[in-house]
Amino acid sequence: MCEVAMEEQDREISDVEQCSSVAENGVMLVVNHSRARPPFSVVLATVLYCAEFVTAAVLCSMYHYTEDVIWMSFTIVFMLVPAVLIQLALTFIHRDLGRDRPLVLFLHLLLLGPVIRCFEALVIYFKAGKKEEPYVTISRKIKLKKGTGTEMEWEIGQTERILATHRDAFKRTAVIQAFLGSTPQLTLQLYATIQEKYILPTRMALMVITLISITYGALVCSVLAIQIRFDDYKLQLRPCAYLCMIVWRGLEIATRVTALVLFSTALTHWTILVGMVNLLFFFFLPWVEFWARKGSLTENVEKNFSKLDTVVVLCMFTLLYACINIFCWSAVQLDLTHQELIEKRQQWGRLAMYYCGRFVENFLLITLWYFFKSDFYEYVCAPLLVVQLLVCYSLAVLFMLLFYQFFHPFRRLFKYNVHDCLHCVCCHKKRRGEQGRRGKPAHSYSTAATMVVGAEEPVELLDTQGSQPPDLTSQLGERETAIVDDMMEAA
């Protein structure tokens, strides 16, 4: 996962052979003459795609040899469906249908699109720097350091632009592979292992690969959500942040899949109902919100798309969104009326509702399994297993809170941080009563510096480790009241 950090972080100015100057408007112009960054994320996504596809194919041949038709059929479906969707996504992103590239299209038909795209990216990378090329565009970002933002410009060359297109395409395919292929594949193989009561080495290898793929896809989702929400800022994630996200996502996904599989071994037919309810709820939720806002469909999905084509693409997008939320938090909320289809506002209320609801659902699924489990688990300490799963999911929530409170790259830009939200939800009624008796607003005891950004107000940095200015007392009281109001509005 360390390759992800190298991909997502832009180069520090000190690490670049550069010529910088400050323009009259205060914007620092950085002329970058260094080599392009290696496409590690492209290689990693391709390796995961090939490893999962080949391992699943070998497992299918073993199922065919032992005449396990049901396991073989589902394994083939969960192997081919994401592979086909990945070929379509790569073709759509690179717009190959309108270009004369018969070999590339033929390899896509053979489900080898990621391989040829990875080969192209590597060729472009190794050819970069051999001849000087003029820049084609200028990227303007705000570099945030210790709460102070400096606006800077980077000259982007043709090679870097092409490599950036490849990286963006493979980020999307990694998410498709993870949640439309790897998650159902992992669930199926774990269920088959429990039902057959023995472990195949090939099946175990496939489960390990799919778990890595899902964790990587969830990690990409989190980083993409940060990039979309803070598009004007230069993204710099520390290794500790990536480690925190890996533990958070790994525990969350492993616990969720285990709970679903255990429940399916006890109440098989009810599992279909649970899965369909989750899928339909998260699929129609963005459309219900779209209808409630009385908005119009965005027209920027593709210039040549008709209304029907736009609806089909948005349906596929919401299907992927629903599949992600079945197994883990998607980190974004869809807004079908917005140009980028993503709600940029951080909704703490929606986040809290999701994890509280998912914790209750997992608890119910594990409890029902405990009471209806088969004799296969007579040698397993069932109460201990239940406690372990609940503790693991609680640890996932804890690492998620730690990330947003301490490791989020733009935590100083949050209007409210995690500590504020937890503090106000627990003490809001008590504080309201004290304010009514004393006629004074209470103070906020947040231990982390928080950037308060108003719509028409200057940016103010509140550091509670020092003394609070007297004129901020009333603002803090109003701020805590507004936190709960915003959470209720988001809910």
* pLDDT tens digit sequence for 439-454: 544 444 344 434 333 3
Give the DSSP H/E element, type plus range, for residue 153: strand 148-157
Separation between Cα atoms, residue 476 and residue 328, nearest integer Å: 34
Calculate the average pLDDT of the chain.
Answer: 77
Task: With a cut of 70, say whether residue 254 has pLDDT above it.
Answer: yes
Of the two residues 392 and 480, the one the predictor is more confident about is 392
Q: How distant, in Å, are the alpha carbons of 79, 139, 313, 333, 334 from that of 228? A: 30, 15, 19, 11, 12
DSSP 335: -
H or E element that contains 107: helix 102-109
Quick one: pLDDT at residue 28? Answer: 57
Return the pLDDT at 218: 92
Residues in Cβ contact with 318 at an 8 Å cutoff, skipping those fewer than 6 apart: 283, 286, 287, 334, 336
CA distance 249 to 252: 5
Range of lowest pLDDT (155-169, 170-184, 265-279, 474-488): 474-488
Question: How many percent of the chain have pLDDT more than 70?
Answer: 70
What pLDDT score does 237 carry? Answer: 84
- Is 129's pLDDT higher than 90? no
3-state secondary structure of 96: coil
Greater pLDDT, 195 or 22: 195
Q: Say which amino acid occupies 315.
A: C
Q: Tokens 């980028």 belong to which residue?
A: 340
Please check whether residue 412 is in contact with residue 463, taking contact to mean a CB–CB distance below 8 angstroms.
no
Q: How big is the CA angle at 67 (ends 66 and 73), to the nearest 5 degrees?
A: 120
Band of pLDDT at residue 419, cut at 50, 70 and 90:
low
More confident residue, 459 or 438: 438
pTM > 0.85: yes or no: no
Q: Which two tokens stand for residue 297?
A: 């469909």
Identify the residue with better confidence: 60 or 142.
Answer: 60
pLDDT for 466: 41
Cα-based angle 162, 164, 170 (whole degrees, multiple of 5): 105
β-strand 148-157 against 333-334: which pairing, if any?
A: unpaired
Whether pLDDT at 482 is above 50: no
> Average pLDDT of 344-368?
89
Residue 467 pLDDT > 60: no
